[in-house]
Amino acid sequence: STSPDTKRCARGSPVTQLLLPALMVLRESPFPNRLLSGLYSLGQYLLFPSYWAQQQRRCCRCCPLRALVTGPLLLLLLVLSVPSALLGLLLWLPLQAARRPFAYKHNMLSRHPEVWELPGTGKVFSFVSANVCLLPNGLARNSNLGQMKQRVARIGQRLTQGEASASFASPRSSQLDGEGEAGPGEISVPFPPDLDFMCLQEVFDQRAGARLCQLLSPFYEHIVYDVGAYGLQDCCTLKVFGSGLFLASRYPVLAAQYRCYPNGIREDALSAKGLLSVQVRRGHWLPALGLLDPWLVTEPCPPPAHAQIRCGAWPRGGPWGLWGEYQDPCRVGPRQDRPWAIGTYLPPLPTLLMAPRVPRRTLEQEEGRRTYLAGPILQDGRPDPSAAGSPWEGRRIDYILYREHPAPISLTTEVEKFSFITQLAGCSDHVAVGLQLLLNPAPQ
């Protein structure tokens, strides 16, 4: 029978109860049964030789001698693998209709996050957003980032290094915010320990995503990965790469849903970039890894939305359309950031700073930022002329935004710390960002 709360939820009325336990469980496999999952894996195996040969040919373009020696062999392998690739494609494409657009991993850990119930005292939640550039080697070399297998191992190690190491934070206390007090921003080397939510972008390679899931699973009980609608499902054009979105959470995931953006062009045309919305227990509504679309998960009778967080990368001048709804801790106004904010995009350089502590010291100085950080641009992609003077902070394209939810339980939010994390130096062309957000029940 349908409860009164369910009926009210169907009519759009507020509901304060949590989801029933039956609705809290997400199955781990993207497929409803093992047969379909096995057929999908077989299709991928049949496609792999052709895919691998093509990526190796791309890598050969960077080395003429290697292209001369191995190019003919790779071309032969590519030709011989065409029949198996066609068979794999015949399996792979139709099965996308039965595939849920993400995989979910639940790890039973002995250590669980602290329960926070309202009303009561406030609690700090910590978030990190990092673009890890885990593309196939042939594409990652465009950013001077090859050797994906070795790089994903280093990334996994560095993402969890904060669990057992001290922080080498370097607050930019010499610069003051608009109120004349030291701002909450800092340039930090390691990722902070005890992160609640790890939000990653550009985990495009499925093997890299599975390996990263394995490396993070001892520290995060809930992981959503391999996100995206492949083939012709939910998108206007053929997609051979997923969205690249990856979420690791210490809190139980109640519901997750993905939406593909239909307007990918140029280098984005073959990837299913989109929005992953995730709802977690303890009443916190976290649409993670979102881009410009303010779409939310629609689940039967969702619990009250206490706070909303948006994490992601906006390459074209910032998250236009969201600033009216969401708060950006680093932003003062249009094309104006706080004095402690710095850029997060490192253009491809042959001598990119490799040791994490080196870029931290370099980026603290304006000369270093001018040398190693890409310059700001406008929404249409043209260089921003207003950023030519001093101080010069670089292009900030990685964001963590937050929004309070006024009903049915109001909260006040306070930014305790915002970090620019250099721990992925040499592994990515982005500077990761972190946010520690204090949530307090609003006074009645």
With H, G, I as helix, E, B as strand and everything else as coil, classify residue 130.
Answer: strand
> Which DSSP letter does residue 265 get?
-
CA distances from 301 to 15, 298, 305 (A): 7, 9, 11
Round to whole Å and give the CA distance between 40 and 93: 9
Round to whole Å and give the CA distance between 210 and 74: 26
Quick check: is 430 catalytic?
yes
Round to whole Å and give the CA distance between 183 and 180: 9
241-256 as b/e: b if 16+ CB within 10 A: bbbbbbbbbbbbbbbb
- 2 and 71 Cβ atoms separated by less than 8 Å: no
Round to whole Å and give the CA distance between 122 and 309: 17
- 104 and 210 Cβ atoms separated by less than 8 Å: no
Alpha helix ranges (H) inside 121-227: 137-140, 148-159, 206-216
Which of the residues 222, 284, 306, 430 is marked catalytic?
430
Active site residues: 430
